[in-house]
Structure 1
Amino acid sequence: MNDYILFMHHDAAGTDAASDAGLWARYLARLRGTGLFDGGSAIGPGERLRKGTPGRPCDDDLSGFVRVHAESLSAAKELLLPGNPVYEAGGTVELRELPRS
């Protein structure tokens, strides 16, 4: 079983749907029911830091993340992407594997 993270972006045409608490509750309940859910959160403002340079605000691209387990990237897309409020509202969901190191 592999670990994946889904990053939700702030670019959905239907911003109300993408941030609807009821839709998120149903989606997260479905993920919990699969046994593949491993946490997640909204993402607030932050700072980009680089040694020797002043910090600067982070871009406001990301709105949250969800961490999941799946057999493959294809399985993660098929099982875990449907119902995601950002995805369903036409927004970008970035799906990345978390390699074991």
Structure 2
Amino acid sequence: MKDFILLMHADTLRPEREEDWEPYIGRLIEAGCFHGGSSIGQGQAFRKEGDAAPLTRHLMGYIKVQAESLEHASAALKGNPTYEAGGTVEIRALVEG
């Protein structure tokens, strides 16, 4: 199994239904693929020298899942409140290091 992160963007076409998050996360837990997640709050970008790149303000949360492949990880989109509201959910592989 590989680790993937789903990054929810703040670009939904219609409002998310807050009450949909608990059953969605519950389904991921039941499937055994949920390995954490959280909303993302305010922050600041830092760089040791020079100006830091602008803070990525459009990211609003993440979910970590385990799956055999990116294709299998994309199954976690079904029922995702951000995705279902027409928003972007970016899926990235987490590289073992």
Same fold (TM > 0.5):
yes
Deviations 1:14-49 (A, max 9, x none): 12x2xx321001110100100110000000110010
Preserved contact between residue 46 and residue 57 of structure 1 (Cα < 8 Å): no
- Runs (5+) with no aligned partner, structure 2: none
TM-score w.r.t. length of structure 2: 0.92
Name the amino acid aligned to 2:79.
G
Residue 78 of structure 2 corresponds to residue 82 of structure 1: yes
Name the amino acid aligned to 1:11.
D
Name the amino acid aligned to 1:10.
A
Match of 1:67 in 2: 64
Of the candidates 70, 92, 95, which is equivalent to residue 91 of structure 2? Answer: 95
Residue 13 of structure 2 corresponds to residue 8 of structure 1: no
**Structure with the larger strand share:** 1
User: Partners of 1:57 and 1:25 in 2: how far apart?
Assistant: 32
Preserved contact between residue 45 and residue 57 of structure 1 (Cα < 8 Å): no
TM-score w.r.t. length of structure 1: 0.88
Identity of aligned residues (%): 45
When the two chains are superposed, the root-mean-square deviation of aligned CA atoms in Å is 1.5
Residue 24 of structure 2 corresponds to residue 27 of structure 1: yes
1:89 offset after TM fit, Å? 0.6
- Runs (5+) with no aligned partner, structure 1: none
Preserved contact between residue 47 and residue 55 of structure 1 (Cα < 8 Å): no
Name the amino acid aligned to 1:89.
A
Preserved contact between residue 10 and residue 62 of structure 1 (Cα < 8 Å): yes
| Counterparts in 2 of 1:99 and 1:54: CA distance versus 1, 3 Å | closer
